[in-house]
Amino acid sequence: MSGQRESDDSGERDEMLNESEPTATLDPRIQEALGKALRAYCDDIVTAPIPDKFLVLLAQLEAKERASQ
């Protein structure tokens, strides 16, 4: 009896997987607001100064590369 139950369950899962997913849409004003917020966030990251710790590490790597050539 348990074998029949497993078969029924897998058939239900297959049917659920084969159904097309609904398409979610957002109001264009919301999309625009989200886009602006994301661009502002990314701009802040891109324009942020590189921490001194990373600059020191980069200088050390460059010095090692020059020494190995």
Q: Where are the domains of the chain?
A: 23-69
Q: How many CB atoms lie within 10 A of CB 6?
A: 9
pLDDT at 24: 75
Structure tokens at 9: 């369950």
Q: What is the pTM of this model?
A: 0.39
- State mean pLDDT over 53-65: 96
Task: Evaluate if residue 51 carries a pLDDT over 70.
Answer: yes
- Between the alpha carbon of residue 27 and those of residues 30, 31, 33, 34, 35, the distances in Å are 5, 6, 10, 11, 12
> In 3-state terms, what secondary structure has residue 61?
helix
Structure tokens at 7: 């078969």
Instruction: Give CA–CA dist 1/6, Å, rounded.
Output: 9
- State mean pLDDT over 34-47: 92
pLDDT at 2: 46
Residue with tokens 């239900």: 12
